[in-house]
């Protein structure tokens, strides 16, 4: 792994673990095994490196989600696969955790990829639900945009509840609950 890659990966890990404020240039350099000169040769400073790390995390999250969203199956099957995929629940969502960081939210450049990722996720889920309605997999009364926002809010809230409890149980319960609400919009065979 190149020095640039080590710096970006180390920053990603530290942002997830400690947040922006708790991630010092020295901690990044130590974790990456890179000197100060190397860091500042490749990046203008901590904000520049943090932006590269956040953009990489956003890209990976989208790619992982899209793998489930574009797989075969009904819209509900694909959404369920996304919600049930393996996650480090007690660490929280790497993007969701950034919303709790005042320094990230105060910086338009750092906030943008976070906002764009959640906007993409809501839009992509809404597309899947609209597709499900068109195929007759979901009833016409379902509002794809509102339901997509509910799914994302439940997922993020599930992380918060799990971290507060120190247990994945509240996360799993939230996912089961939102999938139950979605299943209520699946027409039965005799309809």
Predicted pLDDT of residue 56: 96
Predicted pLDDT of residue 190: 41
The span from the CA of 11 to the CA of 42, in Å, is 13
Predicted pLDDT of residue 113: 97
- For the packed helices 75-84 and 108-134, what is the interaxial angle rounded to 10 degrees? 140
Predicted pLDDT of residue 1: 82
Average pLDDT across each block of 10 residues of the chain; the chain has 191 residues. List them in order. 92 91 92 89 92 96 97 97 96 92 95 97 98 96 97 97 97 98 84 46
Q: Does residue 26 lie in a domain region?
A: no
Placement of tokens 């404020």 in the chain:
21
Q: Are 177 and 170 in contact (CB under 8 A)?
A: no
Q: Does residue 49 lie in a domain region?
A: no
Predicted pLDDT of residue 109: 96
Q: Does residue 37 lie in a domain region?
A: no
Tally of domains in the chain: 1
Global model pTM greater than 0.75: yes
End-to-end CA distance of the chain: 57
Which domain range does residue 148 map to? 57-183
Q: Does residue 66 lie in a domain region?
A: yes
Alpha helix ranges (H) inside the chain = 3-18, 25-32, 36-42, 46-69, 75-84, 94-98, 102-106, 108-134, 144-165, 169-183
Q: CATH number of the domain that 85 lies in? A: 1.10.357.10
CB pairs under 8 A, 24+ apart, for 170-174?
171/89
Q: Does residue 23 lie in a domain region?
A: no
């Amino acid at each position: 792994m190149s020095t640039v890659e080590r710096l970006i990966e180390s920053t990603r890990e530290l942002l997830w673990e400690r947040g922006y404020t708790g991630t010092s240039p020295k901690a990044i350099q130590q974790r990456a095994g890179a000197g100060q000169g190397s860091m500042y040769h490749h990046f203008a400073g901590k904000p520049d490196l943090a932006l590269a790390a956040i953009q990489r995390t956003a890209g990976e999250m989208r790619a992982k989600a899209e793998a489930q969203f574009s797989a075969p199956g009904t819209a509900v099957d694909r959404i369920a696969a996304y919600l049930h995929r393996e996650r480090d629940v007690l660490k929280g969502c790497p993007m969701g955790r950034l919303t709790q960081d005042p320094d990230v939210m105060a910086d338009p450049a750092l906030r943008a990829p976070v906002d764009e990722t959640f906007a993409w996720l809501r839009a992509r889920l809404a597309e899947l639900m609209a597709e499900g309605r068109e195929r007759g997999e979901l009833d016409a009364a379902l509002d794809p945009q509102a339901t997509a926002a509910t799914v994302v809010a439940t997922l993020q809230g599930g992380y918060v509840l799990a971290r507060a409890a120190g247990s994945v149980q509240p996360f799993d319960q939230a996912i089961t609950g939102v999938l139950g609400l979605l299943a209520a919009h699946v027409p039965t065979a005799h309809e």
